[in-house]
Amino acid sequence: MRVRSLAIVGALLVAASAGAQTWEPPRLPDGKPDLQGVWDFQSLTPLQRPADQEKAVLSAEEIAEIEARAAENNAAANAPSEVRDEPLPVGGNVGGYNRYWVDQDASVVDDGRTSLIVDPPTGRLPALQPGVELIELSLGEDRPGTRPVRARAAGIGADSYEDRGLAERCILGFNSGPPIVPAGYNQNIQVFQTADHVAILNEMVHDARIVPLDGREHLPDGLTQWMGDSRGYWDGDTLVVETTNFSDKTASFNPTVATAVGTGTTLRLTERFSRVADDTLLYEYTVDDPTSFTAPFTAALPMKRGNGMYEYACHEGNYGLLNILTGARVAELDTAEQEQ
């Protein structure tokens, strides 16, 4: 099923590229495809097919409508406050970011799919194993939960830094994975190649994965890492990266930045990078975790040639966590004084 789904996706993407039938990827001196450069992974296509959507592929008219609506929303959000329907609150909560910081050039994937997930054919995540729950946390409310907090950009409270998500603590980006799932901003990676290594640099939280291609074994089972232990090889013109040894402090998968499923210790992740056009790097990944999900699932995301990488100074500018904890302590003192 997975092979068939990916073959269909690959065929659609290649057919959509100008001159695809005769296009050959640029190659490095060792003959391998040149995957290097900056690649932008923002997308208007959701991870899962909406529950009320029966179609697997959108029409050209539907794609145009979605992209036009996104452009209108961006224009409205970027407008000066005096022309908005609701001006920003004076002295109140204006949010963490204005629209300047949020990516605004996303489009529907090239082949018009209604989900990034291509297997199962439903375009939705498989069912969870009995006893496994989708953990839903919050950006601002106290929620029942336990440490470690495995959501990326949400937490269970403000008692401690350990109650906040991994991205709030600048440990892992909320969209950079692995696996990579579009969200928000800083949606770029940069790929570097040598004959025996590939480096994948994330713009978000500037994490880098150094992937050996020399056939070495994975790390011992007891040695885990935040981003796992990656090993790569070439399958024809496709770079395959297999990653294990994830930390128990990470989730098996984060469907959104505020949700988490399972633990990384039971995850085996397979990623595939294929140059399918001059401006397109096809990124595919398969999440295989029989402890959390009843079946593996695969997503496909065409990344477009990016304009450049930006510095992401997370800890250097991370006043949010300090303010969250400081504000919580002040609120506790106020409550204590009122109760006296």
Please report whether residue 256 resides in a domain: yes
Q: Is residue 74 part of a domain?
A: no
pTM of the model: 0.88
Q: pLDDT, tens digit, for every residue of 1-17?
A: 444 445 545 545 544 44
131-134, Cβ contacts within 8 angstroms, sequence gap of 24 or more: 132/261, 132/262, 132/291, 132/292, 132/293, 134/255, 134/259, 134/260, 134/261
Residue 9's pLDDT is: 54
Q: Is residue 66 part of a domain?
A: no
Q: Could you tell me if residue 247 is inside a domain?
A: yes
Is 102 domain-assigned? no
Within a domain: 323: yes
Amino acid present at 237: D
Q: How far is the C-alpha of 36 from the C-alpha of 200, rounded, in Å?
A: 9
* Owning domain of residue 183: 2-58+108-339
Q: Is residue 255 part of a domain?
A: yes
* 13 domain residue, yes or no: yes
- The CA distance from 135 to 150, in Å, is 9
* pLDDT score of 83: 53
Tally of domains in the chain = 1
Q: What is the pLDDT of residue 139?
A: 85
Q: pLDDT at residue 317 above 90?
A: no
Report, as an integer, the average pLDDT of 55-79: 92
